[in-house]
């Protein structure tokens, strides 16, 4: 007889509980990595049940606790800086983070009034590490033709909001554009985009991006570097002919002509031409040409050609 009523009662209690649980929500990243002696910002926003809205005031304090029982959180020796709790912003920056075991932390608000709440079912893992990740370069390898435009992106985590990393390109090859971006979990990263036009001079040249992080524990700032060696394809260049032996030679003696050039890819086809009074005839192929010298003066030149293009010598 009391059955339906009971179900109704339980149902509404459950609903109220779920509503309350929903209202006691907090948004935290699952994990943040921080460099020893540096600072870290934990992006955080929370909600409270409607009846406690009025209790949010300037007296509210933020407390971060380790989920490890009996563990006194020893993240930092300075008071953390916290976002505006009255706006439900619990974003917190810890300075000079000490090295220690990786711990999970949850947030507690205490307003010195009925609003005292531990959001202990959601926590953030704070990993203090000396092996902080190096910046990432996109693309990570580069194979491109000379003359094409290149856009390289360097991105590095920015764990501490007041001190984002500096990103430096070596060498600086063109225009650079920096932005601070946010991931889905609200943690930040900094990107630097460098645009330039590929030249043969960049071939096999080490291009690197260095992320600099400020330390607050008196140790020197950290610099993490990622580099790439581009493969710039270019057509045959600096095509010259060398003659051996050099200098005057006897008639009917043999001389060796060598076609020298620089190209990437280095595989090239060589064609030799003989210039006969304005007319050019193909005389041979191959990098090296042996000829027998004759009295009637003729001039020779070579053409070097790779997949990208060709060039003639003088």
Rounded CA-CA distance 32/126 in Å is 5
Segment 212 to 241, residues that bind ligand NAG, using CB under 6 A: 225, 227, 229, 237-238
Q: What counts of helices (H) and strands (E) characterise the chain?
A: 1, 24
Interface pick for ligand NAG out of 267, 279, 294, 296 (rule CB under 6 A): 267
Closer by beta carbon to ligand NAG, 114 or else 286: 286
Residue 91 as a binder of ligand NAG (CB under 6 A): the answer is yes
Q: Residue 19 is inside which H or E element, if any?
A: helix 3-23
Among 254, 275, 282, 299, binds ligand NAG (CB under 6 A): 254
β-pairing, 254-264 with 81-82?
Answer: unpaired
End-to-end alpha carbon distance in the chain: 110
Name which of 206, 222, 212 is nearest 192 in CA terms.
212
Task: Compute CA distances 169 → 139, 152, 177, 219, whole Å.
Answer: 15, 10, 11, 24
DSSP 221: P
| Nearest-approach distance from CB 256 to ligand NAG, in angstroms | 5
Nearer Cβ to ligand NAG, position 98 or 204? 204
Which span sits near ligand NAG by CB under 6 A: 20-28, 70-78, 101-109, 193-201?
193-201
- Which of 79, 99, 102, 290 touches ligand NAG by CB under 6 A? 290
Does position 177 interact with ligand NAG (CB under 6 A)? The reply is yes
- Nearest approach, Cβ of residue 193 and ligand NAG (Å): 6
**Which residues between 28 and 87 bind ligand NAG (CB under 6 A)?**
83
Is 208 a binding residue for ligand NAG by CB under 6 A? The answer is: yes
205 binds ligand NAG (CB under 6 A): no
CA-nearest of 70, 54, 124, 59 to 92 is 124
β pairing state of 81-82 and 31-35:
unpaired
Structure tokens at 74: 């020893």
- Cβ closer to ligand NAG: 41 or 55? 41
Q: Please tell me the distance from the alpha carbon of residue 67 to that of residue 122, in angstroms, as a whole number.
A: 10
Closest CA to 232 of 136, 137, 149, 310: 149
Q: Which of 27, 89, 122, 260 binds ligand NAG (CB under 6 A)?
A: 89
Q: How far is the CB of 134 from ligand NAG (least distance, A)?
A: 10
Return the percent helix, strand and coil in the chain, to nearest 5. Answer: 10, 50, 40
Candidate ranges 7-15, 59-67, 101-109, 287-295; the one touching ligand NAG (CB under 6 A): 287-295
- Establish if 179 lies at the interface with ligand NAG (CB under 6 A): no
Which residues are bridge partners to 181 per DSSP? 189
Nearer to ligand NAG, 36 or 92 (CB): 92
Instruction: Give me the least distance between CB of 3 and ligand NAG, in Å please.
Output: 48
Cα 171 from chain centroid (whole Å): 16
Using alpha carbons only, what angle is made at residue 23 by residues 19 and 29, rounded to the nearest 5 degrees? 130
Please give the size of the binding site for ligand NAG, defined by CB under 6 A: 30
Which part of the chain contacts ligand NAG (CB under 6 A), choosing from 46-54, 98-106, 124-132, 300-308? 300-308
Residues that bind ligand NAG (CB under 6 A): 83, 89, 91, 151, 161, 175, 177, 193, 195, 200, 206, 208, 225, 227, 229, 237-238, 253-254, 256, 262, 267-269, 288, 290, 292, 305-307
């Amino acid at each position: 007889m009391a059955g339906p009523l009971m179900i109704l009662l339980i149902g509404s209690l459950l609903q109220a509980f779920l509503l309350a649980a929903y209202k006691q929500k907090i948004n935290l990243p699952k994990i943040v990595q921080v460099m020893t002696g540096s600072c870290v910002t934990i992006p955080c926003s929370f909600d409270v049940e409607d009846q406690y809205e009025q209790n949010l005031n300037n007296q509210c304090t933020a407390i971060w606790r380790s989920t490890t029982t009996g563990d006194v959180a020893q993240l930092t020796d300075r008071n953390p800086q916290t976002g505006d709790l009255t706006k439900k912003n619990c974003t917190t920056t810890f300075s000079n983070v000490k090295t220690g075991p990786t711990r999970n932390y949850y947030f507690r608000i205490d307003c010195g009034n009925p609003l005292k709440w531990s959001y202990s079912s959601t926590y953030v893992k704070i990993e203090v590490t000396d092996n902080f990740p190096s910046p990432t370069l996109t693309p990570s390898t580069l194979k491109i033709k000379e003359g094409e435009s290149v856009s390289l992106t360097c991105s590095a985590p920015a764990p501490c909001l007041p001190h984002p990393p500096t990103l430096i390109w070596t060498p600086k090859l063109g225009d650079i554009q920096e932005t601070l971006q946010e991931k889905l979990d609200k943690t930040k990263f900094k990107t630097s985009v460098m645009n330039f036009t590929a030249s043969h001079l960049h071939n096999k040249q080490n291009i690197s991006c260095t992320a600099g992080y400020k330390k607050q524990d008196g140790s020197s700032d950290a610099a993490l570097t990622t580099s790439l060696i581009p493969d710039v394809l270019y057509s045959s260049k600096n095509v010259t002919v060398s003659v051996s032996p050099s200098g005057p030679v006897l008639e009917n003696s043999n001389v060796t002509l060598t076609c020298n050039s620089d190209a990437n890819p280095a595989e090239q086809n060589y064609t030799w031409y003989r210039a006969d009074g304005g007319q050019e005839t193909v005389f041979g192929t191959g990098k090296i040409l042996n000829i027998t010298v004759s009295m009637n003066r003729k001039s020779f030149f070579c053409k070097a050609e790779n997949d990208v293009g060709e060039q003639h010598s003088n």
